[in-house]
Structure 1
Amino acid sequence: MNSNKTTHVLLFLSTFLTLTYSDIFLNPEVPQTLENYKLYFLENWPYSVSLLFILLAHEMGHYLPARYYGVRASLPYFIPLPFGPIGTMGAVIKIKDQIPDKKILFDIGIGGPAASLVLSLFAWVVGISLSKVVEIPPNFDRSGFLFFGDSIFTYATAQWILGPIDFATMDIQAHPLAKAGWVGLLITAINLLPFGQLDGGHVIYSMFGESYRKWIHILFGFFLLFALVHFTWLIWGFLIYYVLRVEHPFIKDAMYGIGRSRFIFGIIILVSFLIIFVPKPIIVGSEYDNPSLLDDLIRLIVHTVGLSE
């Protein structure tokens, strides 16, 4: 069945609207006036346009290699989310043919995260340089706010460009371009989780072949430990196990393998995942200073060991 281009266009436009107006739409605390919608548009359009461009580049990074190899694929389906701080659940394309071998799987799988990684890094660095550091008033009530967590990359670059920043007494008033870069990096990191039909699953399966089935479930078990840091990863663990699957479906080997250059490129992308991964993506203000389950578990272990000595 051919893609309905009207559907793709409507989803694209709907996603632009939810990206632009997610902070005001269905929010009872913000008056639903035309003037407010104009203000939100003027404030948020850099975020909407830049993030849509990042998402489009990601999907084209899959679509163009697929077409190059003669694998039929749909145009991107953008996924609007009319509530929450992000406004989208990303975008997807549908591969309509069996992928011939692991080399082609690698090229199709890695193209998307490679494209969105580069653009998201650029958006974040430029955006954070346009952002401002603000003082947090003493006894400030955080409970009504949401906070975006940090990866190794976002924390280090924010400190380098704007720092030193003491987040106990300061916060960053992020430019919309920085927010687009942060969301782009988050979506890229989620796609690079090395399981099943996610982009990272395609890449790691192409690199290590059938032998990876011996240890991929162990890696999945270690991934589930992040649920002790933030409940989001428990939801993703459920989706991976029951929907996306832990193991990749069988694809035959390429005649001469994927090649050394592709393997090195895959290692670079997988290492970048570790640098951009956000253990606690979005933090509710009322829980900002609360220890995670992992903190409590470590404290309990240390206390127990201390008692046994």
Structure 2
Amino acid sequence: MFFENWPYSTSLLFILLAHEMGHYLPARYYGVRATLPYFIPLPVGPIGTMGAVIQIKEPIPDKKILFDIGVGGPAASLFLSVIAWLVGISLSKVMEIPPGFDRSGFLFFGDSLFTYLTTQWIHGPIDFSTMDIQAHPLAKAGWVGLLITAVNLLPFGQLDGGHVIYSMFGEGYRKWIHRLFVLFLIFTLIHFTWLLWGFIIYFVVKVEHPFIRDSISGIGKFRFYFGLSMLVTFLIIFVPKPIILGSELNDSSLLTDIFRLISDNIRLDL
């Protein structure tokens, strides 16, 4: 098992290290004290880690520095995760699922728009009702790296996405950030994972970012458009249903059931 899966562990640790160095190095460049990364193992479950963190030991001087420290992590992990995924998925194998095969005892990793389209591009066309991918360990590491990057890019509080969006839009963002959080909660109707994250964001991470003063020169057009591209990337790599039990593969989500109920009532009224 070790020799089969060491590419997963090694590449994922490298992705996590790159993410944290993407925060640490800009912090050191601007003279902001920060710790080296802490890696958080998770000895149970299909992923094996809860990621890594660094601790900023003093207030960040202004929004331009906040942007550079905040965006560096997801930019680094996104770059390496995409490479790991593309190489890994090209080394993966397409398997036919035997008729009547019981998938209820297995776990399946969900797809983002990016992983679905690249899988179809490299191996397609694939009908996932009759076929599946035997993922190479490098592809698994890329998938986890993309998931961690997407979670960090959620645009709330002191998540990386929260740093980025607050730096881009300034204090005025407080007028609409709670509405954006309510829209995010719609994903709880798709998968229970996002309900847990909703609690974490609201009670721990917080919806709004703590006050940081503006930079004298602002953040500039390049940073603004780079931040915008990272937020758009979040939509492409976001996984609505991250990990799915085999017994739930054919189950509809609560959101789908609600839409079906509404459409049935509309047809009845007509």
Distance in 1 between the 2:97 and 2:231 partners?
36
Residue 133 of structure 2 is aligned to residue 172 of structure 1: yes
Partner of 1:10: none
The one-character-per-residue Cα deviations of 1:111-170 (angstroms, maximum 9, x if unpaired) are 000000000000000000000000001011111000000000000000000111000000
Picking from 8, 19, 29, the partner of 1:68 is 29
Supply the AA of the counterpart residue of 1:156. L
Partner of 2:50: 89
SS in 2 for 1:298: helix
> 1:86 Cα deviation (Å)?
0.3
Residue 106 of structure 2 is aligned to residue 140 of structure 1: no
Distance in 1 between the 2:248 and 2:237 partners?
23
What TM-score comes out, normalization by structure 1 length? 0.87
Distance in 1 between the 2:266 and 2:198 partners?
31
> 1:193 Cα deviation (Å)?
0.1
SS in 2 for 1:154: helix
Distance in 2 between the 1:147 and 1:120 partners?
19
Partner of 1:282: 243
Distance in 1 between the 2:79 and 2:249 partners?
30
Distance in 1 between the 2:175 and 2:38 partners?
34
> 1:285 Cα deviation (Å)?
0.7
> 1:288 Cα deviation (Å)?
0.8
Supply the AA of the counterpart residue of 2:141. A
> 1:307 Cα deviation (Å)?
1.2
> 1:304 Cα deviation (Å)?
1.0
Partner of 1:53: 14
**RMSD of aligned alpha carbons:** 0.4
Unmatched 5+ residue regions in structure 1?
A: 1-39
Partner of 1:308: 269
Residue 255 of structure 2 is aligned to residue 273 of structure 1: no
Partner of 2:119: 158
SS in 2 for 1:97: coil
Residue 191 of structure 2 is aligned to residue 236 of structure 1: no
Supply the AA of the counterpart residue of 1:298. F
> 1:88 Cα deviation (Å)?
0.4
SS in 2 for 1:246: coil
Partner of 2:211: 250
Partner of 2:181: 220
SS in 1 for 2:232: helix
Partner of 2:88: 127
Distance in 2 between the 1:154 and 1:286 partners?
22
> 1:196 Cα deviation (Å)?
0.1
Distance in 1 between the 2:100 and 2:179 partners?
44
> 1:306 Cα deviation (Å)?
1.1
Distance in 1 between the 2:64 and 2:231 partners?
17
Partner of 1:186: 147
> 1:180 Cα deviation (Å)?
0.3
Unmatched 5+ residue regions in structure 2?
A: none
Picking from 92, 96, 104, the partner of 2:65 is 104
SS in 1 for 2:33: coil
Supply the AA of the counterpart residue of 1:194. P
Partner of 2:162: 201
Distance in 2 between the 1:233 and 1:182 partners?
18
Looking at both structures, which has the greater relative contact order when contacts are Cα pairs under 8 Å and sequence separation is at least 6? 2
SS in 1 for 2:51: strand
Matched residues, percent identical?
Answer: 78
Residue 39 of structure 2 is aligned to residue 78 of structure 1: yes
What TM-score comes out, normalization by structure 2 length? 1.00
The one-character-per-residue Cα deviations of 1:225-280 (angstroms, maximum 9, x if unpaired) are 00000000000000000000000000000001000000011011111000000000
Supply the AA of the counterpart residue of 2:84. A
Runs ≥4 residues deviating over 2 A: none
> 1:63 Cα deviation (Å)?
0.2
> 1:308 Cα deviation (Å)?
1.3
